[in-house]
Structure 1
Amino acid sequence: MRLAGRYRITERLGEGGGGTVWRAVDELLHRDVAVKQVRAPSGLSHTERAEYHARAIHEARAAGRLSHPSIVMVHDVVMHGDEPWIVMDLVPGRSLDKVIREDGPLPERRVAEIGLSVLDALQAAHARGILHRDVKPANVLIGPDGRALLTDFGIAVPAGRHREGWADLAGSPGYMAPERLRGEPEGPASDLWSLAATLYTAVEGEPPFHRSIAAAIAAAVLLHDPRPMVRASPRFAQLLLAMLDKDPARRPAPQVVRRVLEELAAGPEEPGERPRARLGRLLLGGALVLATGVAAGLGAWRLTSSDPPADAAGRFTAIPEPCRSLTRLQIQELLGTRADSDKETAGCRWIERVSGENRTLIVRYRIPSASVRAAAAELAAQRAAHPAGSCSDRPGLADEAFVCDAPDPASRTATGTTVVFRTSNLIVHVAYGRDGDRAITPGDRSVAIRAAELIRAGLG
């Protein structure tokens, strides 16, 4: 089959909700190209179908004006069999979703590199007033040299234009920003939300709102928190959760996203180990404070140095809301079932009573002073108050942290582990306890430490 008398179709490369991609030979220029056969949604009237095709042609031509090393170039749009076909560069390699499916989750450093390339592409498109509207792993191509390119601007739209009805629902629900699903106006922040969902999938191995059917996915995007991240470092998790905020006004700005990704991409990576972001690295330009409503609901997240001068003023002026330290899904992950929160003075308690062990998690905050030095001194005093040999340091968790194999008296449980850490001038106590055998197990320590990691990630 030939298109427009010059593009000879040779083989099918892939298929998705928006159409089928074919390999073809441009017989005029004697080169291989990729051609996307645009498929209109089913159930459209003749008029709606014609409108869909007209928009696809218009928007593909708009995307054809984009020229950037991280964007798959659109060369032509032709009509064949009453359907538009979009002619693009043929990029050898695999799509990101295929890489994840075949190789598993990617190292965090590599995901950050991919994120920077896609961010470059999006900012180039946004500068021309074009939204991509379908950023997802299937539309990120990884070339043989490792370079990541963004493709398929087939449902792209000029920024500020609002589509209605069937046209607004084009795309994959797990990677569509909440405002799109709500039928609200979208903007560059919508593409960045989709980028965050894509990077989340790359580092965790599954999407943030994975469900079995499309309707459940859309409901999760609108109503639920992302699944807890278990492979990402606290720094990366903090960034992605902020980008996935359901309110576009609270998402971090592109320049902030870029700075964090640059730091993560330049970070150390030990063979065979999960990369850990360097929590103490000072971002370019100094401390950045952004108001967000991240999934943990802690209000303010901060991208700042975790190792300021000892006599510096701390960054916390008020105690965070303890019962919003952890999401419902995180509590379910930690305790094995749902548990209601019970607010206490400067703290919060969750208890599950299904297992018969009364598994209990307690979180408490304290700001002893506006001074970092004073907070560090108090943490040292608390460390010294425990019997010798009962506690061990936990480097990398926060500015300072230690773990003690002893139940918190307030938990009223027989067995438990307590984690105490300091971030700036805030001291955080995380205690996990249970009834039953008094012998502390690695699982007890794991629950307490994991809870502390999640809280630290939310605090920023």
Structure 2
Amino acid sequence: MDLLAGRYRLVEPLGQGGEGTVWRAHDELLRREVAVKQMRVPSGLAAGELAEYAGRALQEARAAGRLSHPSIVMIHDVVPHHGQPWIVMDLVPGTSLDKLLPLPSNRVAEIGLAVLDALDLAHRNGILHRDVKPANVLIGEDGRAMLADFGIAAPLGADPADSSGSPAYMAPERFRREPAGPPSDLWSLGATLYTAVEGRGPFHRDIPAAVLAAVLMHEPPPMMRATPGLARVILALLDKDPGRRPPAAAARHMLQSLLPPPVVVRPRRTGRLVLIGALTVGLGVAAGLAAWNLGAGGPDTPGRFTVMPDPCEALTSRQATELLGEGADRGEQDGGSCGWAQHRTNIALTVTYRLNPAEAGENQAARAFDGHRSGGGSESYALAQEAFTRAISEPGVTGTSVWFRQSNLIVEVAYRQSGAAPPDAAERSPTWQAATHAATLVSVGLG
């Protein structure tokens, strides 16, 4: 074959899909290895239609080529050859995600965050990927996940009748010929993460018509390998109504909460070392999820909680151990409250739910939440519009309570330690760190 654009020599095919063939190639000018994608041109196009298709593909690929991010396989060049567009990209040593299935939940959450960052950058630049799937997520030799194949990317608001992509990973609104947007790519991300952790696609069927029906009308099979937290994120992304899917910011908070925070050892004035790194996660998840829930539900809609959740199920035993240490005891439910205690260190954690009637709507719940914020007898400190903290003022006790609202449910998470010295004024106390981390876990558990 002739050199593409006078410089790219094809070496061997690396893979083939519905949109074209990817080749290993050698850049004769810069003397480096690259990947080149030969776009598959629809059959039966007249000369004018072929020129229009090639021109549009070149324009869209060049737009995607302006995206530069560690989680994006960079596009270097787009060249026409014999009337077809060819896309020149980085050659990434490693393998695609579909060759590594299944993976553990924490690894899938890491991959999800990387792909989410790539999509967020594309969306902020007005570009949809339209073909997020395991085969287009590359895992480099260093373990880094990168989103590849922006070759069929399109501007926001592209023709909804364009069915480019892989049907099992295409959002239902695209089959309904509705306008695609960022939620469509996020749905595809959810399907990709489902496949990554479960080892099978959420809508796998043997014939294409059955795939389409499953995407449009069926729920995915129950997730057996995923942790409950990861399953909640994935199933939220797979909501068939794009308006109910979490936006990128909320999805990012949810995924980040599933990963262990870095451990930081900080010296105290007494000379003792206190391990607080595992308790340094703020309430970004609660704030992000609250904003998403409010945005999806609207100000005049009924609350989504019709019955009060069990506060004793707010934390798993592993999470309670992480927060309180080995040997923490869980008490019994007392109305809307449940507590955990570590008697060896005099630490207590309480989760309290206050349910406003669902039929009263979210306005009433918002007013009730504002009442708790302004009351309480001590100053509150805002974490977000729907979350605040308050120091617990009790004799011989150092503590913090975190309040947040999800729809019509108001949650208080209180963390107390008896006999502890008051923290330095220049530092946020360890009880604040622990309370906000506990509130994050409770918020994610509520979904």
**TM-score class normalised by the smaller sequence:** 0.5 to 0.7
Tell me, yes or no, if structure 1 residue 120 matches structure 2 residue 159: no
1:194 is matched with which residue?
A: 188
Contact 1:96 1:139 (8 Å CA) reproduced:
yes
2:429 is matched with which residue?
A: none
Q: 1:19 to 1:299 in 2, by over 3 A?
A: farther
2:145 is matched with which residue?
A: 148
2:314 is matched with which residue?
A: 306
For residues 371 and 28 of structure 1, what CA distance do their matches in structure 2 show?
A: 63
Tell me, yes or no, if structure 1 residue 226 matches structure 2 residue 234: no
For residues 47 and 156 of structure 1, what CA distance do their matches in structure 2 show?
A: 22
For residues 300 and 62 of structure 1, what CA distance do their matches in structure 2 show?
A: 44
1:63 is matched with which residue?
A: 64
Match of 1:160 among 141, 151, 157: 157
SS at match of 2:103: coil
SS at match of 1:265: coil
Structure 2 residue identity aligned to 1:314: Y
1:445 is matched with which residue?
A: none
1:440 is matched with which residue?
A: none
**TM superposition score normalised by structure 2:** 0.63
Alignment of 1:34-433 (within 5 A): 34-100=35-101, 105-164=102-161, 168-266=162-260, 283-284=283-284, 286=286, 288-289=289-290, 290-291=292-293, 299=304, 306=314, 313-317=352-356
Contact 1:169 1:181 (8 Å CA) reproduced:
yes
Structure 1 residue identity aligned to 2:166: S
Q: Shift of residue 218 of structure 1?
A: 1.2
Q: Shift of residue 155 of structure 1?
A: 1.1
Contact 2:354 2:410 (8 Å CA) reproduced:
no
Q: Shift of residue 299 of structure 1?
A: 4.8
Q: Shift of residue 253 of structure 1?
A: 1.6
How many residues matched?
A: 308
Structure 1 residue identity aligned to 2:203: F
Q: 1:6 to 1:180 in 2, by over 3 A?
A: same
Structure 1: runs of 5+ lacking an equivalent: 269-277, 321-369, 374-398, 400-422, 425-455
For residues 126 and 166 of structure 2, what CA distance do their matches in structure 1 show?
A: 22
Structure 2 residue identity aligned to 1:140: V
Contact 1:109 1:267 (8 Å CA) reproduced:
no
Structure 2: runs of 5+ lacking an equivalent: 263-277, 298-302, 316-336, 340-349, 360-408, 413-437
Identical-pair percentage: 61
Contact 1:160 1:187 (8 Å CA) reproduced:
yes
**Cα deviation 1:229-279 (Å, max 9, x = unaligned):** 1111111111111111111111112111111111213279xxxxxxxxx9x
Q: Shift of residue 185 of structure 1?
A: 0.6
For residues 286 and 228 of structure 2, what CA distance do their matches in structure 1 show?
A: 19
For residues 14 and 110 of structure 2, what CA distance do their matches in structure 1 show?
A: 26
Q: Shift of residue 10 of structure 1?
A: 0.7
Q: 1:250 to 1:371 in 2, by over 3 A?
A: closer
For residues 47 and 127 of structure 1, what CA distance do their matches in structure 2 show?
A: 33
Q: 1:371 to 1:99 in 2, by over 3 A?
A: closer
Q: Shift of residue 19 of structure 1?
A: 0.2
Structure 2 residue identity aligned to 1:252: P
Q: Shift of residue 315 of structure 1?
A: 5.0
Contact 2:254 2:285 (8 Å CA) reproduced:
no
Contact 2:355 2:410 (8 Å CA) reproduced:
no
For residues 17 and 56 of structure 1, what CA distance do their matches in structure 2 show?
A: 15
SS at match of 1:35: strand
Q: Shift of residue 41 of structure 1?
A: 2.9
Contact 1:239 1:260 (8 Å CA) reproduced:
yes
Structure 2 residue identity aligned to 1:178: P
Contact 2:170 2:188 (8 Å CA) reproduced:
yes
1:349 is matched with which residue?
A: none
Structure 2 residue identity aligned to 1:56: A
1:427 is matched with which residue?
A: none
For residues 232 and 60 of structure 2, what CA distance do their matches in structure 1 show?
A: 34
Q: 1:145 to 1:315 in 2, by over 3 A?
A: farther
CA RMSD of aligned residues (A): 3.2
Contact 1:260 1:283 (8 Å CA) reproduced:
no
